Structure 1
Amino acid sequence: MTALLNAVSAAGARLGKASHGRIAFDARQALSRHDDLALGAPGLWSPNRHCRLIPCRDAWIAVSLARAEDRDMVPAWTGAGFDADIWQAVMESAAGREAAEMTASGVALHLPVARVGEARPPKPEPLRAGDGDGGGVVDLSALWAGPYCGGLLAEAGFDVVKIESPARPDPTPLHTPRLDARLNGRKRRLTMALASPDLIERIAGARILITAARAHALARLGLSEERLFAVNPGLLWIAVTAHGWRKEAAMRVGFGDDCAAAGGLLRREEGAPRFMGDALADPLTGLTAATLALEAVEAGQCGLLDISLARTAAAFAEALR
């Protein structure tokens, strides 16, 4: 497993750094002004400086500060899953005050926070036997983990169609063309409204669907579980999220570094946690999703694969202990 982790980490380094396009990180300017988040103690930066590890009382937490225009994301900060005193300390910091001010002024500012080691390895929902034969892959995901999964499936011989919204296309080709070539170079690309009947028709004929959005955001576009499995009972749906597809986890936003922290990948036996490469949770999640998808197709299974960055990181962290 250590060799696999090293290989995936090296692959991630070769792929380069993903740009977040419309999700424009303010870490270099904003987080550098928020040293008071550490409550008097020094913090640790991620290699891409999108995320900061800070000690807060008896815990280490990871904070990513991002200004976002994406209306599918919750336009506010949330303290779901955290002790009230820790969350209060975060919100009383300069970062929290700026988040409150900017949200009040109409700018959607996200403050994803994760306690180091909070996530647990996943307990996958059982897939069901299906008659899903033939059909290709419809990839609706963007940025890192989902496209990496789709790229691996394309290399395995699947016909992968990457579908992008004309309103919000994947920013990867514009900002990191080499990464885009690696993730999406073997896919066919189409531009299509995500709420269009044409997309439903294409999903109805697919074997695999890849998404990287939360359930409620997809449901608003008419892409709910009920509808998609009704039109395609043999569909294998790979649902990539930050913290999980269901219950309270489904409302949490997150990015690669804070999800790696939540999964415990940054823990050390002694001393402060330490970052391991850039956005390590993303390629680990993409690799895991592709592996599970290939196994499910081989076994003739269908259903929803709930693949989260935080829980995938937790599974790898547990295997390395």
Structure 2
Amino acid sequence: MFTWPDTVDEAVRIRDWLSSGIVPLTGPSDGPPLIPPGNAATIADALGSFIGTPVRGARFLSERAAFTGMNRNGNVSVGGKTRLLPTSDGWAAVSCARESDPSLLAALISHDIGNDLWPAVGAWLSERPGAELAERAMLLGLAAAPVQRSTMPVPTPTTRRSVEGMLVVDFSALWAGPLCAHLLGKAGARVIKVETPTRPDGARLGNREFYSLLHSGHESVALDPDTPAGRSALALLVERADIVVEASRPRALAGFGLDADAAVASGTTWISITAAGRDSPRIGFGDDIAASSGLIAHDDAGSPAFVGDAIADPLTGLLAAALAMSETPHGAGELWDISMAALVSSTLSSLVVETPKLDAESIAFPCRRASIGIAPASGADTEPVLRSLGIDVP
């Protein structure tokens, strides 16, 4: 049975952060690294122990940076796409990671932002409360939110079950969902990654070695949900799945003709990963979700800094895998509704007022695990996978 580490001894909390690889990724670029608040590293270790990972769970939190070589940069995220900016009543995290985001940010502030968007966005935010940003960002579909901890409950793993030989259908992309699927695959499940021909996983454009680490050994299927044959094949894949992993809002899944509730009623374990829960229209990514949920470090001058690299993603991936490996509370299908914001907020039960002085020799740096092979190209296994499951090939 999993025990959530709600209260953590301060010495243990600091030890776990120091050994996670996150500390070198946290703080100003021209200053010393910082120990983050809360106990996310300790929780990650507990989740890793439950899953049975070959390395400590906290090491997954910093793994991507070992491949990219990126470093801490204060109020700019490690990946450079997200910023912490002051509002009239606090701070906010604003992402500009997608091609459409500059135009959406221009719509947010109702002004042409030119080539350098951040001064204009920063000036607009500084004169407005965080609540106004939250409302407008959700209407526009922007990954931006004020710093405000979530009070939504977080699902807790139960008793571990074996996933050996189970069929996992993975609709997710980027990091959180794929890490979940990767860990399920390592535990003996058969993992089928599903993409559409027009929207492959955006992480394919990132670091290839890291992408292969998470996806090697999986099978890749590409299906078009805009065609009757494609929709039928998608529905049959879900029907045959023991576990479904997805990170979409319910209306997007409905557009694919997929019904999570019906799948759960038939006995499927459904892992749903969203920014703030299935009932929320909010979108978000690992950096802006972590920071806006309160996981922020501060230097001696009080300046805020991002904690790690998109830390909400790997933390969520670990929880998602643990839930997928849990006996369901009702002994049948189960829909696990995972709010990334709520998970991050739940790690902040223990806060520190002063940052302890660091011994450089005690700080672990991000490290990489070796991939077992190359990730398949999108759709490379569509025909053999569908035929093996008795599904007509579109």
Provide the rounded CA distance (Å) in 2 between the counterparts of 1:279 and 1:205: 33
- Counterpart position of 2:338: 307
More strand by share: 1
Provide the rounded CA distance (Å) in 2 between the counterparts of 1:133 and 1:208: 12
Q: CA deviation at 1:244?
A: 1.1
Residue 265 (str. 1) matches residue 274 (str. 2): no
Amino acid paired to 2:278? W
Identity over aligned residues, as a percent?
37
Of structures 1 and 2, the larger Rg is shown by: 2
Q: How do 1:1-321 residues align onto structure 2 when only pairs under 5 Å count? A: 2=13, 3=16, 5=41, 6-16=58-68, 44-68=75-99, 85-86=128-129, 110-120=141-151, 122-124=153-155, 135-194=166-225, 196-229=231-264, 233-246=266-279, 249=280, 251-268=281-298, 271-296=302-327, 300-318=331-349
Contact 2:84/2:94 (<8 A) preserved: yes
Q: Structure 2: which 5+ residue stretches go unaligned?
A: 6-12, 21-40, 42-57, 110-126, 353-394
Q: CA deviation at 1:299?
A: 8.7
Distance 1:267 1:296, change over 3 A: farther
Q: CA deviation at 1:58?
A: 2.9
Count, aligned residues: 266
Distance 1:59 1:281, change over 3 A: same
Amino acid paired to 1:239? S
Contact 2:276/2:339 (<8 A) preserved: yes
Provide the rounded CA distance (Å) in 2 between the counterparts of 1:319 and 1:12: 26
Amino acid paired to 1:14? A
- Counterpart position of 2:36: none
- Provide the secondary structure at the position in 1 that maps to 2:305: coil
Distance 1:7 1:319, change over 3 A: farther
- Provide the secondary structure at the position in 1 that maps to 2:306: coil
Provide the rounded CA distance (Å) in 2 between the counterparts of 1:155 and 1:77: 43
- Counterpart position of 2:118: none
Q: Structure 1: which 5+ residue stretches go unaligned?
A: 19-42, 79-83, 104-108
Contact 1:66/1:110 (<8 A) preserved: no
Contact 2:291/2:307 (<8 A) preserved: no
Contact 2:164/2:188 (<8 A) preserved: no
Provide the rounded CA distance (Å) in 1 between the counterparts of 2:169 and 2:342: 24
Per-residue CA distance 1:155-195 (angstroms, 9 max, x = gap): 11111111111121113234321121111112111122245
- Provide the secondary structure at the position in 1 that maps to 2:326: helix
Provide the rounded CA distance (Å) in 2 between the counterparts of 1:15 and 1:268: 26
Contact 2:168/2:244 (<8 A) preserved: yes
Provide the rounded CA distance (Å) in 2 between the counterparts of 1:47 and 1:229: 38
Provide the rounded CA distance (Å) in 2 between the counterparts of 1:284 and 1:261: 13
Per-residue CA distance 1:237-278 (angstroms, 9 max, x = gap): 0011111112xx2x1111111100122211559723321111
Amino acid paired to 2:325? L
Contact 1:136/1:206 (<8 A) preserved: yes
Amino acid paired to 1:242? A
Amino acid paired to 1:86? P
Stretch deviating more after TM superposition (191-200 or 255-264): 191-200
Contact 1:116/1:266 (<8 A) preserved: no
Provide the rounded CA distance (Å) in 2 between the counterparts of 1:85 and 1:171: 33
Provide the rounded CA distance (Å) in 2 between the counterparts of 1:164 and 1:86: 39
Aligned-residue CA RMSD (Å): 3.7
- Provide the secondary structure at the position in 2 that maps to 1:316: helix
Provide the rounded CA distance (Å) in 1 between the counterparts of 2:208 and 2:260: 33
Distance 1:309 1:126, change over 3 A: closer
